[in-house]
Amino acid sequence: MATFEKKKAERGKPPEFKTAENGTVMPVDSDFIKFLPKLMGTTGSSDIYLFETIMNQVSATLSLNEREKAFNFIASFMHGLKPGDETEGILISQMAGAHNLIMEFMKQAVTPGQFPAVTNDYTLRACKLMHVFLKQLEVLEKYRGKSSHQKVIVEHVHIHQGGQAVVGHIENRPRGEGDEKKK
């Protein structure tokens, strides 16, 4: 339980939303000075128009009838991935939209009594979006400089008598690929 509390404290709290009397969804915290840091932690930007547009666009990908719940879910999802700037905020919003659609297609795929072709169609759509989501995650990591590819720079090499060295770009290929020219 202590680990959970520590993680919760490190993460901070995303902005929360409520439905006003007129039906619009608005921040629970009406003090904009308190809301601004949460806004930035969710979209990577202090621009209220960007925030509002992203929240409306991503909430449209949810089948929730209650916009308040949709806004709170999206804010929590995006806040958890901690966008550092607008580019990350937009990419993370796309990831949230892809996630929402994946879950919707998976829900449709298990609807009882439907034709197998329909189930297969929804499953295929979900799988394609899962691939898109993973690509988006790779792009986010690469943008943040956390790419899984490593670059090694060798500054100087000592080659002693009888030794050999290769200088240049070297690619590793599985055996049999490119070993022989095709005739």
Predicted confidence band of residue 100 (pLDDT cuts 50, 70, 90): very high
Residues 27-39 have a mean pLDDT of 79
Predicted confidence band of residue 130 (pLDDT cuts 50, 70, 90): very high
Give me the percent of the chain exceeding a pLDDT of 70. Answer: 88
Per-residue H/E/C for the chain: CHHHHHHHHHHCCCCCEEECCCCCEEECCCCHHHHHHHHHHHHCCCCHHHHHHHHHHHHCCCCCCCHHHHHHHHHHHHHHCCCCCHHHHHHHHHHHHHHHHHHHHHHHHCCCCCCHHHHHHHHHHHHHHHHHHHHHHHHHHHHCCCCCCCCCCCCCCCCCCCCCCCCCCCCCCCCCCCCCCCC
pLDDT at 99 over 80: yes
| Arithmetic mean of pLDDT over the chain | 85
pLDDT at 157 over 90: no
Residues 20-31 have a mean pLDDT of 84
Return the domain boundaries, the chain: 2-143
pTM of the model: 0.71
